[in-house]
Amino acid sequence: MKKTEEIDVPIKYSCEFCKSEFIRERTLLTHICEKKQRWINRDLKGVRIGFQAWLQFYAKSSMSKTKNKTHEEFIKSPYYTAFVKFGNYCNDVNALNPSRYIDWLLRDNIKLDNWTSDSVYTKFVYEYVRTEDPYDAVHRSVQYCIDLGKSEKILPHDCLRYININKICYAITTGKISPWLLYQSASGLQFLKSLNADQEKHIMDYINPEQWALKFKREPELAKSIKELLRDAGY
């Protein structure tokens, strides 16, 4: 009897993301499916923020049955696109403390579809600047002045004195400059006095004088310490 001929079965290479199979390894290496592209994009800033938001969402949700969720699970999630959209939004607006923003969104039961709403983020900024750690607020404000000073070729402590007023007003409404810097520095008080009625109205919700006066009255030693810190730095 003739020996049965052996039939060579070609080796197949499988995509770990979509399970598509290829005869040639080179084809697999050049293959890009949606989930593989998500994996390639995993280190983009917007994706990283989106992943963190997804983790916090599941950590505070009854939907979470397991701990230590992975990025591999994230890219397979039906919520992936929505969370990456949110991460990109945070990146685009240079959001204040994204982790705190996510906690705030979850605490207030804001629908995921509204996480990229400018009005929602503005409401968060209102609350955040009033409740954040004062030294964190001053640090962020000074860092903004350092960065702005570099681009405008001006000393950081002179930014509130000489930079375009409307640009500073915008920085206030986005939380980049805190009332702690405005009310506890000579340059900040000078800036506030220079505002016209429209400019003052534009930032009033963020710098409410009565609220901040009460805050400083409740924490006189802290206010004094920050005022001395800013004075010594030339602000």
Q: What is the pLDDT of residues 202-216, one digit of tens each?
A: 999 999 999 999 999
Which is higher by pLDDT, 6 or 156? 156
Are residues 20 and 29 in contact, defined by beta-carbon separation less than 8 angstroms?
A: no
Residue 84 CA to residue 102 CA, distance in Å, equals 13
* pLDDT at res. 20: 82
Query: pLDDT, tens digit, for every residue of 68-124?
Result: 789 999 999 999 999 999 999 999 999 999 999 999 999 999 999 999 999 999 999
pLDDT band for position 41 (cuts 50, 70, 90) = very high
99: three-class secondary structure by DSSP? helix
Question: How many residues comprise the chain?
Answer: 235
Sorted by where each begins, the domain ranges of the chain are 10-36, 44-128, 132-232
* Stated pTM of the model: 0.81
Full DSSP string of 153-189: TS-GGGHHHHS-HHHHHHHHHTTSS-HHHHHSSHHHH
Instruction: Kindly report the number of other CB atoms within 10 A of residue 120's CB atom.
Output: 16
Query: pLDDT, tens digit, for every residue of 122-155?
Result: 999 999 999 999 999 999 999 999 999 999 999 9
